[in-house]
Protein backbone atom coordinates (compact mmCIF):
# COMPACT_ATOMS: atom_id res chain seq x y z
CA UNK A 1 0.00 0.00 0.00
CA UNK A 2 1.22 3.48 -0.89
CA UNK A 3 1.23 5.45 2.38
CA UNK A 4 1.35 8.84 0.64
CA UNK A 5 -1.81 8.03 -1.31
CA UNK A 6 -3.42 6.58 1.82
CA UNK A 7 -2.93 9.91 3.64
CA UNK A 8 -4.28 11.86 0.66
CA UNK A 9 -7.31 9.56 0.57
CA UNK A 10 -8.18 10.60 4.14
CA UNK A 11 -8.23 14.21 2.97
CA UNK A 12 -10.29 13.25 -0.07
CA UNK A 13 -12.79 11.40 2.15
CA UNK A 14 -13.33 14.37 4.47
CA UNK A 15 -13.76 16.69 1.49
CA UNK A 16 -16.58 14.55 0.07
CA UNK A 17 -18.62 15.95 2.97
CA UNK A 18 -22.15 14.62 2.34
CA UNK A 19 -21.09 11.03 1.66
CA UNK A 20 -18.64 11.09 4.54
CA UNK A 21 -21.16 12.41 7.09
CA UNK A 22 -23.88 10.04 5.86
CA UNK A 23 -21.74 6.93 6.21
CA UNK A 24 -20.23 8.04 9.53
CA UNK A 25 -23.80 8.36 10.85
CA UNK A 26 -24.81 4.94 9.47
CA UNK A 27 -21.74 3.22 10.91
CA UNK A 28 -22.13 5.01 14.25
CA UNK A 29 -25.68 3.63 14.49
CA UNK A 30 -24.57 0.16 13.41
CA UNK A 31 -21.64 0.04 15.85
CA UNK A 32 -23.92 1.32 18.63
CA UNK A 33 -26.66 -1.24 17.99
CA UNK A 34 -24.22 -4.12 17.52
CA UNK A 35 -22.59 -3.26 20.87
CA UNK A 36 -25.95 -3.11 22.66
CA UNK A 37 -27.13 -6.36 21.03
CA UNK A 38 -23.82 -8.07 21.86
CA UNK A 39 -24.35 -7.14 25.48
CA UNK A 40 -27.87 -8.62 25.30
CA UNK A 41 -26.44 -11.88 23.90
CA UNK A 42 -23.98 -11.97 26.79
CA UNK A 43 -26.75 -11.49 29.34
CA UNK A 44 -29.72 -13.36 27.86
CA UNK A 45 -28.27 -15.61 25.17
CA UNK A 46 -30.61 -14.10 22.55
CA UNK A 47 -28.42 -13.56 19.46
CA UNK A 48 -30.90 -12.38 16.81
CA UNK A 49 -30.23 -8.71 17.36
CA UNK A 50 -26.48 -9.00 16.99
CA UNK A 51 -26.82 -11.21 13.89
CA UNK A 52 -29.14 -8.62 12.34
CA UNK A 53 -26.73 -5.77 13.11
CA UNK A 54 -23.75 -7.64 11.71
CA UNK A 55 -25.64 -8.49 8.50
CA UNK A 56 -26.61 -4.80 8.21
CA UNK A 57 -22.95 -3.83 8.66
CA UNK A 58 -21.85 -6.24 5.91
CA UNK A 59 -24.63 -4.89 3.66
CA UNK A 60 -23.55 -1.30 4.34
CA UNK A 61 -19.90 -2.16 3.58
CA UNK A 62 -20.94 -3.70 0.23
CA UNK A 63 -23.14 -0.72 -0.67
CA UNK A 64 -20.39 1.70 0.34
CA UNK A 65 -17.82 -0.18 -1.77
CA UNK A 66 -20.16 -0.15 -4.77
CA UNK A 67 -20.97 3.52 -4.29
CA UNK A 68 -17.31 4.49 -4.03
CA UNK A 69 -16.27 2.52 -7.10
CA UNK A 70 -19.19 3.95 -9.09
CA UNK A 71 -18.57 7.51 -7.96
CA UNK A 72 -14.84 7.26 -8.63
CA UNK A 73 -15.02 5.38 -11.96
CA UNK A 74 -13.83 8.31 -14.07
CA UNK A 75 -11.21 9.19 -11.45
CA UNK A 76 -9.89 5.62 -11.53
CA UNK A 77 -9.70 5.64 -15.36
CA UNK A 78 -7.89 9.00 -15.28
CA UNK A 79 -5.46 7.90 -12.57
CA UNK A 80 -4.68 4.74 -14.51
CA UNK A 81 -3.83 6.92 -17.54
CA UNK A 82 -1.51 8.88 -15.24
CA UNK A 83 0.34 5.71 -14.28
CA UNK A 84 -1.35 4.58 -11.07
CA UNK A 85 -1.42 0.82 -10.63
CA UNK A 86 -4.18 -1.15 -8.87
CA UNK A 87 -2.49 -1.09 -5.47
CA UNK A 88 -2.21 2.72 -5.64
CA UNK A 89 -5.90 3.00 -6.47
CA UNK A 90 -6.80 0.54 -3.72
CA UNK A 91 -4.99 2.79 -1.22
CA UNK A 92 -7.42 5.54 -2.21
CA UNK A 93 -10.41 3.38 -1.20
CA UNK A 94 -8.86 1.91 1.95
CA UNK A 95 -8.28 5.37 3.43
CA UNK A 96 -11.90 6.47 3.14
CA UNK A 97 -13.40 3.19 4.40
CA UNK A 98 -11.11 3.05 7.44
CA UNK A 99 -11.56 6.72 8.28
CA UNK A 100 -15.35 6.45 8.21
CA UNK A 101 -15.26 3.49 10.63
CA UNK A 102 -12.83 5.19 13.01
CA UNK A 103 -14.81 8.45 13.06
CA UNK A 104 -18.07 6.51 13.63
CA UNK A 105 -16.39 4.76 16.56
CA UNK A 106 -15.24 8.11 17.98
CA UNK A 107 -18.79 9.48 17.68
CA UNK A 108 -20.09 6.50 19.68
CA UNK A 109 -17.26 6.88 22.18
CA UNK A 110 -18.26 10.49 22.69
CA UNK A 111 -21.89 9.44 23.27
CA UNK A 112 -20.78 6.70 25.69
CA UNK A 113 -18.58 9.09 27.70
CA UNK A 114 -21.37 11.65 27.97
CA UNK A 115 -23.87 9.00 29.01
CA UNK A 116 -21.54 7.70 31.75
CA UNK A 117 -20.99 11.28 32.89
CA UNK A 118 -24.73 11.86 33.11
CA UNK A 119 -25.26 8.64 35.07
CA UNK A 120 -22.66 9.60 37.66
CA UNK A 121 -23.91 13.18 37.81
CA UNK A 122 -27.49 12.19 38.52
CA UNK A 123 -26.50 9.28 40.77
CA UNK A 124 -24.61 11.87 42.78
CA UNK A 125 -27.91 13.66 43.33
CA UNK A 126 -28.87 11.05 45.92
CA UNK A 127 -30.29 8.70 43.30
CA UNK A 128 -33.13 11.05 42.33
CA UNK A 129 -32.85 10.00 38.72
CA UNK A 130 -31.82 6.50 37.70
CA UNK A 131 -30.38 6.30 34.18
CA UNK A 132 -29.45 2.64 34.44
CA UNK A 133 -26.18 1.14 33.36
CA UNK A 134 -23.90 2.52 30.64
CA UNK A 135 -25.20 2.11 27.10
CA UNK A 136 -21.99 0.56 25.81
CA UNK A 137 -20.00 -2.01 27.77
CA UNK A 138 -16.33 -1.31 26.98
CA UNK A 139 -15.41 -4.89 26.02
CA UNK A 140 -18.31 -5.28 23.53
CA UNK A 141 -17.82 -1.75 22.27
CA UNK A 142 -14.16 -2.26 21.33
CA UNK A 143 -14.84 -5.76 19.98
CA UNK A 144 -17.62 -4.38 17.76
CA UNK A 145 -15.31 -1.65 16.49
CA UNK A 146 -12.63 -4.15 15.45
CA UNK A 147 -15.22 -6.46 13.86
CA UNK A 148 -16.67 -3.49 11.89
CA UNK A 149 -13.16 -2.55 10.81
CA UNK A 150 -12.66 -6.15 9.65
CA UNK A 151 -15.99 -6.11 7.79
CA UNK A 152 -14.72 -3.10 5.83
CA UNK A 153 -12.39 -5.55 4.03
CA UNK A 154 -15.54 -6.73 2.20
CA UNK A 155 -16.21 -3.13 1.10
CA UNK A 156 -12.59 -2.74 0.03
CA UNK A 157 -12.78 -6.00 -1.94
CA UNK A 158 -16.04 -4.95 -3.65
CA UNK A 159 -14.56 -1.56 -4.62
CA UNK A 160 -11.34 -3.24 -5.81
CA UNK A 161 -13.24 -5.84 -7.86
CA UNK A 162 -15.32 -3.16 -9.62
CA UNK A 163 -12.30 -0.90 -10.09
CA UNK A 164 -10.28 -3.65 -11.81
CA UNK A 165 -12.85 -3.63 -14.60
CA UNK A 166 -12.28 0.07 -15.33
CA UNK A 167 -10.06 0.56 -18.36
CA UNK A 168 -7.88 3.66 -18.63
CA UNK A 169 -9.38 4.28 -22.09
CA UNK A 170 -12.65 5.23 -20.40
CA UNK A 171 -11.03 8.50 -19.32
CA UNK A 172 -10.98 9.56 -22.96
CA UNK A 173 -14.68 8.91 -23.47
CA UNK A 174 -16.74 11.96 -24.22
CA UNK A 175 -19.49 12.74 -21.73
CA UNK B 1 14.61 2.28 -35.75
CA UNK B 2 15.86 5.82 -35.27
CA UNK B 3 16.14 7.47 -31.86
CA UNK B 4 14.73 10.64 -33.45
CA UNK B 5 11.26 9.13 -33.46
CA UNK B 6 9.21 8.94 -30.30
CA UNK B 7 6.39 6.97 -31.93
CA UNK B 8 6.50 4.55 -34.82
CA UNK B 9 3.35 2.81 -36.03
CA UNK B 10 3.87 -0.08 -38.43
CA UNK B 11 0.95 -1.57 -40.37
CA UNK B 12 -1.43 -0.86 -37.52
CA UNK B 13 -5.06 -1.90 -37.85
CA UNK B 14 -7.81 -1.95 -35.26
CA UNK B 15 -11.00 -3.94 -35.60
CA UNK B 16 -14.02 -4.15 -33.33
CA UNK B 17 -16.75 -6.71 -33.30
CA UNK B 18 -20.28 -5.33 -33.00
CA UNK B 19 -22.67 -8.29 -33.02
CA UNK B 20 -21.85 -10.21 -36.20
CA UNK B 21 -20.38 -7.14 -37.86
CA UNK B 22 -16.66 -6.35 -37.84
CA UNK B 23 -15.89 -2.62 -37.71
CA UNK B 24 -12.49 -1.55 -38.97
CA UNK B 25 -11.61 1.55 -36.95
CA UNK B 26 -8.02 1.95 -38.18
CA UNK B 27 -6.77 0.64 -41.51
CA UNK B 28 -3.11 -0.24 -42.19
CA UNK B 29 -1.61 2.79 -40.53
CA UNK B 30 2.07 3.68 -40.90
CA UNK B 31 3.32 6.72 -39.05
CA UNK B 32 6.48 8.17 -37.55
CA UNK B 33 6.38 11.07 -35.08
CA UNK B 34 9.63 12.86 -34.31
CA UNK B 35 10.79 13.92 -30.86
CA UNK B 36 9.78 17.48 -30.04
CA UNK B 37 7.19 17.60 -32.79
CA UNK B 38 3.77 19.28 -32.47
CA UNK B 39 1.69 16.75 -34.35
CA UNK B 40 -2.02 17.27 -34.95
CA UNK B 41 -4.43 14.53 -35.98
CA UNK B 42 -7.60 16.08 -37.37
CA UNK B 43 -10.84 14.46 -38.37
CA UNK B 44 -14.60 14.56 -37.92
CA UNK B 45 -16.45 12.80 -35.10
CA UNK B 46 -16.43 9.03 -35.45
CA UNK B 47 -13.45 9.02 -37.80
CA UNK B 48 -11.29 6.97 -35.42
CA UNK B 49 -9.27 9.79 -33.81
CA UNK B 50 -9.70 8.66 -30.21
CA UNK B 51 -9.16 5.00 -31.17
CA UNK B 52 -5.90 6.05 -32.80
CA UNK B 53 -4.89 8.03 -29.72
CA UNK B 54 -5.66 5.02 -27.50
CA UNK B 55 -3.44 2.83 -29.66
CA UNK B 56 -0.57 5.30 -30.07
CA UNK B 57 -0.46 5.89 -26.31
CA UNK B 58 -0.54 2.19 -25.46
CA UNK B 59 -3.94 2.39 -23.72
CA UNK B 60 -5.26 -0.08 -26.29
CA UNK B 61 -3.55 -2.71 -28.41
CA UNK B 62 -3.79 -2.85 -32.19
CA UNK B 63 -5.44 -5.88 -33.82
CA UNK B 64 -2.49 -6.16 -36.21
CA UNK B 65 0.81 -4.30 -36.54
CA UNK B 66 2.88 -2.72 -33.81
CA UNK B 67 3.53 0.57 -32.03
CA UNK B 68 6.98 1.57 -30.84
CA UNK B 69 6.55 4.11 -28.05
CA UNK B 70 9.83 5.74 -27.00
CA UNK B 71 11.72 2.63 -28.14
CA UNK B 72 9.33 0.11 -26.56
CA UNK B 73 7.11 -2.20 -28.56
CA UNK B 74 3.72 -1.86 -26.82
CA UNK B 75 2.72 -5.38 -27.92
CA UNK B 76 5.62 -6.80 -25.93
CA UNK B 77 4.98 -4.87 -22.71
CA UNK B 78 3.41 -6.79 -19.87
CA UNK B 79 0.16 -5.27 -18.56
CA UNK B 80 1.73 -4.82 -15.11
CA UNK B 81 4.58 -2.72 -16.54
CA UNK B 82 2.29 -0.23 -18.26
CA UNK B 83 1.56 1.99 -15.22
CA UNK B 84 5.27 2.62 -14.69
CA UNK B 85 5.83 3.31 -18.40
CA UNK B 86 2.92 5.76 -18.45
CA UNK B 87 4.16 7.39 -15.28
CA UNK B 88 7.66 7.89 -16.66
CA UNK B 89 7.16 8.57 -20.36
CA UNK B 90 3.64 9.72 -21.19
CA UNK B 91 1.28 12.56 -20.29
CA UNK B 92 -2.44 12.90 -21.03
CA UNK B 93 -4.71 15.87 -21.51
CA UNK B 94 -8.43 15.16 -21.74
CA UNK B 95 -11.31 17.02 -23.30
CA UNK B 96 -13.20 17.10 -19.99
CA UNK B 97 -10.02 17.87 -18.03
CA UNK B 98 -10.75 14.96 -15.68
CA UNK B 99 -9.48 16.73 -12.58
CA UNK B 100 -10.29 15.14 -9.24
CA UNK B 101 -12.93 17.22 -7.46
CA UNK B 102 -11.70 16.59 -3.93
CA UNK B 103 -8.15 17.73 -4.64
CA UNK B 104 -6.86 21.28 -5.04
CA UNK B 105 -5.14 22.44 -8.23
CA UNK B 106 -1.68 21.65 -6.87
CA UNK B 107 -2.78 18.25 -5.56
CA UNK B 108 -4.23 17.42 -8.98
CA UNK B 109 -0.89 18.25 -10.57
CA UNK B 110 1.07 16.30 -7.94
CA UNK B 111 -1.24 13.27 -8.07
CA UNK B 112 0.47 11.91 -11.17
CA UNK B 113 3.69 11.54 -9.17
CA UNK B 114 2.36 10.20 -5.87
CA UNK B 115 2.99 6.58 -6.85
CA UNK B 116 6.64 7.42 -7.60
CA UNK B 117 9.63 7.12 -5.27
CA UNK B 118 10.25 10.89 -5.34
CA UNK B 119 9.97 12.85 -2.09
CA UNK B 120 6.97 15.10 -1.40
CA UNK B 121 9.27 18.13 -1.53
CA UNK B 122 10.58 17.32 -5.02
CA UNK B 123 7.05 16.67 -6.29
CA UNK B 124 5.75 19.89 -4.76
CA UNK B 125 8.57 21.97 -6.24
CA UNK B 126 7.96 20.56 -9.71
CA UNK B 127 4.20 21.14 -9.38
CA UNK B 128 4.78 24.75 -8.29
CA UNK B 129 7.13 25.34 -11.23
CA UNK B 130 4.51 24.03 -13.63
CA UNK B 131 1.67 26.00 -12.08
CA UNK B 132 3.84 29.09 -12.41
CA UNK B 133 4.46 28.18 -16.05
CA UNK B 134 0.72 27.89 -16.78
CA UNK B 135 0.10 31.09 -14.79
CA UNK B 136 -2.01 29.50 -12.06
CA UNK B 137 0.27 29.81 -9.05
CA UNK B 138 -2.18 32.08 -7.27
CA UNK B 139 -4.99 29.56 -7.75
CA UNK B 140 -3.00 26.56 -6.53
CA UNK B 141 -5.17 25.94 -3.48
CA UNK B 142 -8.47 26.21 -5.34
CA UNK B 143 -10.58 23.15 -6.05
CA UNK B 144 -11.57 22.37 -9.69
CA UNK B 145 -15.15 23.62 -9.25
CA UNK B 146 -13.74 27.01 -8.22
CA UNK B 147 -11.79 27.29 -11.49
CA UNK B 148 -13.00 28.24 -14.97
CA UNK B 149 -12.83 25.75 -17.87
CA UNK B 150 -9.65 27.33 -19.22
CA UNK B 151 -8.03 27.27 -15.78
CA UNK B 152 -8.97 23.63 -15.27
CA UNK B 153 -7.43 22.75 -18.62
CA UNK B 154 -4.24 24.59 -17.62
CA UNK B 155 -4.11 22.52 -14.43
CA UNK B 156 -4.54 19.41 -16.59
CA UNK B 157 -1.66 20.58 -18.80
CA UNK B 158 0.57 21.06 -15.75
CA UNK B 159 -0.44 17.58 -14.54
CA UNK B 160 0.47 16.08 -17.92
CA UNK B 161 3.96 17.58 -17.70
CA UNK B 162 4.89 16.83 -14.11
CA UNK B 163 6.62 13.55 -14.94
CA UNK B 164 8.84 15.11 -17.66
CA UNK B 165 7.07 12.99 -20.31
CA UNK B 166 8.57 12.17 -23.68
CA UNK B 167 5.18 12.59 -25.28
CA UNK B 168 1.90 14.23 -24.32
CA UNK B 169 -1.36 13.02 -25.84
CA UNK B 170 -4.10 15.62 -25.93
CA UNK B 171 -7.60 14.47 -26.79
CA UNK B 172 -9.69 17.41 -28.05
CA UNK B 173 -8.04 19.78 -25.53
CA UNK B 174 -10.17 22.71 -26.69
CA UNK B 175 -13.38 20.74 -27.19
CA UNK B 176 -15.17 22.15 -24.13
CA UNK B 177 -13.78 25.69 -24.33
CA UNK B 178 -14.85 28.83 -26.14
CA UNK B 179 -12.73 29.77 -29.16
CA UNK B 180 -10.70 32.47 -27.38
CA UNK B 181 -9.83 30.27 -24.38
CA UNK B 182 -9.23 27.34 -26.74
CA UNK B 183 -6.69 29.32 -28.71
CA UNK B 184 -4.89 30.41 -25.54
CA UNK B 185 -4.68 26.74 -24.48
CA UNK B 186 -3.19 25.69 -27.82
CA UNK B 187 -0.72 28.58 -27.67
CA UNK B 188 0.28 27.39 -24.21
CA UNK B 189 0.72 23.82 -25.45
CA UNK B 190 2.85 25.11 -28.32
CA UNK B 191 4.95 27.22 -25.94
CA UNK B 192 5.50 24.24 -23.61
CA UNK B 193 6.31 22.08 -26.61
CA UNK B 194 9.12 24.50 -27.48
CA UNK B 195 10.26 25.22 -23.91
CA UNK B 196 10.17 21.66 -22.52
CA UNK B 197 10.95 19.93 -25.82
CA UNK B 198 8.10 17.51 -25.26
CA UNK B 199 6.36 15.90 -28.22
CA UNK B 200 2.69 16.89 -28.41
CA UNK B 201 0.15 14.75 -30.21
CA UNK B 202 -3.12 16.61 -30.41
CA UNK B 203 -6.30 15.01 -31.66
CA UNK B 204 -8.98 17.48 -32.72
CA UNK B 205 -11.85 18.31 -35.01
CA UNK B 206 -11.09 22.02 -34.57
CA UNK B 207 -9.54 23.36 -37.81
CA UNK B 208 -8.21 26.50 -36.10
CA UNK B 209 -5.62 24.41 -34.25
CA UNK B 210 -3.95 23.22 -37.44
CA UNK B 211 -1.95 26.42 -37.95
CA UNK B 212 0.04 25.66 -34.78
CA UNK B 213 1.08 22.19 -35.94
CA UNK B 214 4.50 21.17 -37.25
CA UNK B 215 2.69 18.43 -39.16
CA UNK B 216 -0.96 17.61 -39.71
CA UNK B 217 -2.52 14.23 -40.37
CA UNK B 218 -6.14 13.76 -41.30
CA UNK B 219 -8.12 10.69 -40.44
CA UNK B 220 -11.31 9.65 -42.18
CA UNK B 221 -12.98 6.24 -41.97
CA UNK B 222 -9.90 4.90 -40.23
CA UNK B 223 -7.48 5.94 -42.97
CA UNK B 224 -4.75 8.40 -42.05
CA UNK B 225 -3.31 10.84 -44.56
CA UNK B 226 -0.37 13.07 -43.68
CA UNK B 227 -0.79 16.56 -45.11
CA UNK B 228 2.23 18.63 -44.19
| Sequence spans of domains, chain A | 3-173
Q: What is the pLDDT of residues B134-185, one digit of tens each?
A: 889 999 999 999 999 999 999 999 999 999 999 999 998 888 888 888 888 8
A16 CB neighbours in chain B (<8 A) are 101-102
pLDDT score recorded for residue A118: 80
Q: How far apart are CA A85 and CA A76, in angstroms?
A: 10
User: Could you tell me which residues come within 8 angstroms of residue B176 by beta carbon, excluding any fewer than 6 positions away?
Assistant: B95, B96, B97, B149
CB contact under 8 A, A84 and B115: yes
3-state secondary structure of B118: coil
Q: What is the pLDDT of residues A95-127, one digit of tens each?
A: 888 999 999 999 999 988 888 888 777 776 655
Pick the more confident residue, B116 or B47.
Answer: B116
pLDDT score recorded for residue A129: 53
pLDDT over 60 (residue A175): no
pLDDT over 70 (residue A18): yes
CB contact under 8 A, A83 and B83: yes
Q: pLDDT above 90 covers what percent of chain B?
A: 53
- Residues B66-89: what's their mean pLDDT? 89
pLDDT over 80 (residue A48): no
CB pairs A-B closer than 8 Å: 80
Chain-centre distance for alpha carbon A16:
15
| Interchain contact B204–A (C-beta under 8 A) | no
pLDDT score recorded for residue B1: 54
Report, in this order, helix, strand and coil percent for chain B, each rounded to 5: 35, 30, 35
| Interchain contact B193–A (C-beta under 8 A) | no
Q: What is the pLDDT of residues A120-171, one digit of tens each?
A: 777 766 555 555 667 777 888 888 899 989 998 898 888 888 888 888 888 7
| Interchain contact B155–A (C-beta under 8 A) | no
pLDDT over 80 (residue B81): yes
- Residues B200-217: what's their mean pLDDT? 91
The residue of chain A with its CA nearest to that of B56 is: A169
Backbone dihedral angles phi then psi of residue A146, each to the nearest 5 degrees: -70, -35
pLDDT over 90 (residue B120): yes
Q: How far apart are CA A23 and CA B46, in angstroms?
A: 42
pLDDT over 70 (residue B24): yes
pLDDT score recorded for residue A126: 56
Q: Is the ipTM of this complex over 0.95?
A: no
Among A50-54, B57-61, B125-129, the minimum mean pLDDT is found in A50-54
pLDDT over 90 (residue B64): yes
Quote the mean pLDDT of chain B. 90
Q: pLDDT above 70 covers what percent of chain B?
A: 98
| Interchain contact B152–A (C-beta under 8 A) | no
Q: How far apart are CA B144 and CA B151, in angstroms?
A: 9
Burial of A102 (0-12, 13-18, 19+ CB in 10 A): middle
B53 CB neighbours in chain A (<8 A) are 172
Quote the mean pLDDT of chain A. 84
The residue of chain B with its CA nearest to that of A78 is: B98
Band of pLDDT at residue A21, cut at 50, 70 and 90: very high
| Interchain contact B102–A (C-beta under 8 A) | yes
pLDDT score recorded for residue B218: 93
pLDDT score recorded for residue B162: 93
pLDDT score recorded for residue B151: 92
Q: How far apart are CA A76 and CA B78, in angstroms?
A: 20
Amino acid sequence: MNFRIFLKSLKLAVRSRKRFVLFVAIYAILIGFTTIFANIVYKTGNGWGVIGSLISTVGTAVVYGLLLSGYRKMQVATLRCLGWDFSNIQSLFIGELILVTVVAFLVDLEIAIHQIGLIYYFTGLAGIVQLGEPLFQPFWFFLTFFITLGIQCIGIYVAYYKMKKVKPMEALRKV
Amino acid sequence: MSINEVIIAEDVSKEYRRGHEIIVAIKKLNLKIKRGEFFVIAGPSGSGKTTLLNILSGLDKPTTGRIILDGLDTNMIDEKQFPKIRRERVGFIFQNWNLIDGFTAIENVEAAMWPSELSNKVIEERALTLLRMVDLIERKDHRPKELSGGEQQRVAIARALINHPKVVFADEPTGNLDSKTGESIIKLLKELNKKEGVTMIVVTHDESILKFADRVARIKDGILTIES
